[in-house]
A = this chain, B = another copy of it.
Amino acid sequence: MSIVLLARDLGLSISTVSRALNGYDDVAPATRDRIFQRAREIGYRPNPGARRLKSGKTSLVGVILPSAGDGVRFVDSVASSLLGGVEAELEVGGYSLIATMQTRNDPVRETALYENFIKGGWVDALLIVRTRVNDPRVVFARKAHIPFVTYGRTETTAPYAWVDTDNEQAFFLATERQIEFGHRRIALLNGPLEYYFARLREQGYANALAKHGIALDQLLMRNGDLSEMSGYAMCRSLLSSPSPPTAIVCATDAMAVGALAACRERGIEVGKAVSIVGYGNSSASAFSDPPLTTIDHAVFDNGRHIGQSLLRLLRGEAKPGDIHYLEPVVLVPRNSDGPRIA
């Protein structure tokens, strides 16, 4: 009833008001201004349901957060900054970001959730986070012909839009640094290989070793969830193995903090007897004992790139295959790693 009230109030037709409000140019500047002013005064805001019903557009981009119940949390770690960045960019394009949670980590429920989200017409575009090596969500989104961008890559030959941080480079850097410190037995505390980022990190790690002629040792490569507890447990196991590593690169700062605790428990001096590096440059990493050498990646910036990409896709300014952005990383040296003691 609202736009008709406004139109009546102005002595104009509904269509004129609508077209003015939607920025069409076939309405005289004078009346356009008059309409805008009155709309503001009267507090008119278009009914989203009606607009959506008619136009099929929601002005919403959606993200489904894989969160509670999943050992590998997403929300806790990077979501805040990432989504902040996305939202900041989307906002200028007139879109909003809405998130919903995925309570269970059950594949069939996941598919149902995405199907509902997409087919139900809740959103105009999608952000897919925490991509897996084989990710049913991206094949689904592609099939549904809904614009989407992923945060993280996936294994497919089909074109799709992604932005990612350079996980491979990150772990190449971290590992090579250990090698240059003289370490040869370098362990990798990684996330589940089901996630593509874990693959890439393993790749970077392997590349550094290969470059320096060090053989890969499967016993030094462990996978767990990304938590402190996991880092603690794996480090503990590593330390009590027949030939323990002298250096450890970790998939998250949280794991590294766990590893620190394990070393402490064993009375091993981190930064001397064993060299540890984390990933993420979390706020906690600067305050651990010793402060963590880690990898900084610009999450907020990643979010902004995602937002921009989404906008370009939505406006048809780019094709999915054109959008690839790899964010560089930088190693921040602190005190948890150091030269190998002979």
Residues of A within 8 A of B (CB): 43, 45, 47-53, 56, 58, 67-69, 73, 75-76, 79-81, 83-85, 87-88, 91, 96-101, 103, 116, 119-122, 227-229, 232, 254, 257-258, 260-261, 264, 283-284, 286-289, 300
- Check A228 against B84 for contact (C-beta < 8 Å): no
Prevailing SS type, chain A contact patch: helix
Ranked nearest first, the 10 interchain pairs of A and B with the lowest CB-CB distance are: A68-B84, A49-B52, A75-B80, A49-B53, A261-B287, A87-B101, A228-B287, A99-B99, A98-B98, A289-B289
- Check A257 against B120 for contact (C-beta < 8 Å): no
Bound state CA distance, A50 and B232, in angstroms? 53
- Check B103 against A88 for contact (C-beta < 8 Å): yes
> Which residue, of A56, A69, A283, has the highest number of chain B Cβ atoms within 10 A?
A283
Bound state CA distance, A284 and B231, in angstroms? 11
Give 25 CB contacts A-B under 8 Å: A43-B119, A47-B53, A47-B121, A48-B49, A48-B52, A48-B121, A48-B122, A49-B52, A49-B121, A52-B53, A53-B53, A67-B84, A68-B80, A75-B80, A75-B83, A76-B76, A84-B101, A97-B101, A98-B100, A227-B283, A228-B287, A229-B283, A254-B283, A264-B289, A289-B289
Bound state CA distance, A88 and B100, in angstroms? 11
Q: A48-B121, A49-B51, A260-B287 are in contact. List 14 more A-B contacts (CB 8 A).
A: A43-B119, A49-B121, A52-B53, A67-B84, A83-B101, A84-B103, A88-B103, A98-B98, A98-B100, A99-B101, A228-B287, A229-B286, A232-B287, A261-B289
Known A45-B116, A91-B103; contact A83-B67, beta-carbon cutoff 8 A: yes
Known A120-B48, A257-B284; contact A85-B68, beta-carbon cutoff 8 A: yes
Q: From the candidates B45, B88, B121, name the one contacting A120 in the complex (CB within 8 A).
A: B45
Given the complex, which residues of B lie within 8 Å of A56, measured CB to CB? 49
Bound state CA distance, A300 and B232, in angstroms? 24
- Closest chain B CB from A84 CB (angstroms): 3
Given the complex, which residues of B lie within 8 Å of A85, measured CB to CB? 68
Bound state CA distance, A121 and B1, in angstroms? 14
Q: From the candidates B99, B119, B228, name the one contacting A284 in the complex (CB within 8 A).
A: B228
Given the complex, which residues of B lie within 8 Å of A69, measured CB to CB? 84
Given the complex, which residues of B lie within 8 Å of A300, measured CB to CB? 68
Q: From the candidates B232, B260, B287, name the one contacting A257 in the complex (CB within 8 A).
A: B287
> Which residue, of A51, A98, A99, A287, has the highest number of chain B Cβ atoms within 10 A?
A287
